[in-house]
Structure 1
Amino acid sequence: MRIFLAGATGAVGRVLLPLLLDAGHRVVAASRTAAGVERLRAQGADAVRLDVFDRAAVGDALRAAAPDAVVHQLTALADADPADNARVRREGTRNLVDAARAAGVGRMVAQSISWAYRPGDGPAGEDEPLDTGAPEPRATTVQGVAALEDAVAEIPEHVVLRYGTFYGPGTWYAPGGLMADRLRAGLLPADDGVSSFVHVQDAARAALLALDWPRGVVNVVDDDPAPAREWVPALAAALGAPAPEPTTGGAGWQRGARNTAARTLGWQPQHPTWRTGFTATP
């Protein structure tokens, strides 16, 4: 299959690219920078430099690539600014979907998140609604997710992967990453709010498998949703940072998610729990 990989140098994209190539796919991989293009070519991909906000350039790139499928792993996480990431989800996805449709692409796999569900009891399933009525600052994130998922649904055969919180190499949860800084600054609470995680290696494998999955939305999370009072001390130990004292509280939407659908489709995480994954060798 000929694949157009958007976000090929991101935390998931950089792991996904070799998986696609090893599976025999021909990949046209996109990066925003010249250095990124060179890295992608060195890995064996056809590479293109692309600004996803340049609508005409996105259209040209998709026409030239003529892919069978688009894999959308675009994010803007470097500055930890939710507004930047929401813009990628809204405008970048809109440009990518319109270009894919114009190029006759019938399949898209896209990155979404699993912590955009409405408040509720227990981990969320895919049939539950997004928290579109949330106040700011959460509204910016959820509305960006809703715009992304609505746009991707215009592609006939689409799979939206609602990933858990990424950890592993190249993420905020890696040594030297944002969460280590927040732990040292006392800014990461160990409260009752529940999170679901996924290692970037498992996230990438899900995207590869999703090229053959039926259309729809799938939570891609590990088996172990847990409150921050459990995972924050474990993360602190893995990163060599001080652990905060446990506290109570947490938002209603901090509930984690279920991975039943993904497992039914054949996805089996190599890191089924963050309890061992935080300290596993990448």
Structure 2
Amino acid sequence: MHFPSSVEIIEVGPRDGLQNEKKFVATEDKKVLIQRLAESGFQRIETASFVHPKIVPQMADASEIVDFCNELGIFYIALTPNKKALERALEANVKQIAVFVGASNTFNEKNIRRTIDESLAECKEMFPIAKANGVFMRGYVSMAFSCPYEGAVSYEQVKKVVSSFVENGADELSIGDTNGRANPRIVYDRLTRLKEDFPDTTFVGHFHDTSGFALANILAAIQAGVTKFDTSIGGLGGCPFSPGSTGNVATEKVVEMLHAMNINTGIAQERLAGIAEFAKGLV
């Protein structure tokens, strides 16, 4: 087996972990969470989404959050689901942006009310605008293994979305087990094929823990050559359009596992338990 000397952990709790909470989390509490995470060594944190506040009320304070992140001087990622959201993010001086498209057409339509082709067409318009402003672009491929509506998702479905993102110049692609039903074998096989077909592309693993396989799936992804992973402090998160799915894999568990294997993350593990307790207290 192959074990890298280091792995990058991208903390997504402040956005992906909190976005579906019905009770609004106070902006000041979000700021405290972000600052504590930054002080623990995270080099990148997904902190906000410029989705319309009527759709995701939890992210209504996105502009204030990114102003705070800019003041802190940290590297952060903001989600922009469409051109209007991208324009708002650029006005707020966001330097790392994420867009997302589902590999399952049914999920994509339920999630953002567009077909895959419609979403990819809009992304094709968004990428040149972002690139012209010197923005780092991340592409999320949701439901990259299976879907609660369509069942198994084929490699060809995933490759279609990945190909479009690569052609548009994505800086990295996060491959998501959005409903948390993937297993180590399919993770290894799928990511190995993606790295073979797109050798110059940086891939990130994004695993939910519905089946309890997330840590094993991370190990399988590492064997496939992936060394970047999205995690959420306290295991917070979930998706309203993925019935039955639970939260993201817990940051503190991933860091504990990697450090036990002498894989460096640059994160102060001893601080994570307290931050996880604080994060869980917000929801």
- Which TM bucket (shorter chain)? 0.3 to 0.5
More RCO (CA 8 Å, sep 6+): 2
TM-score, length-normalised on structure 2? Answer: 0.39
Going by fraction, where is helix more abundant, 1 or 2? 2
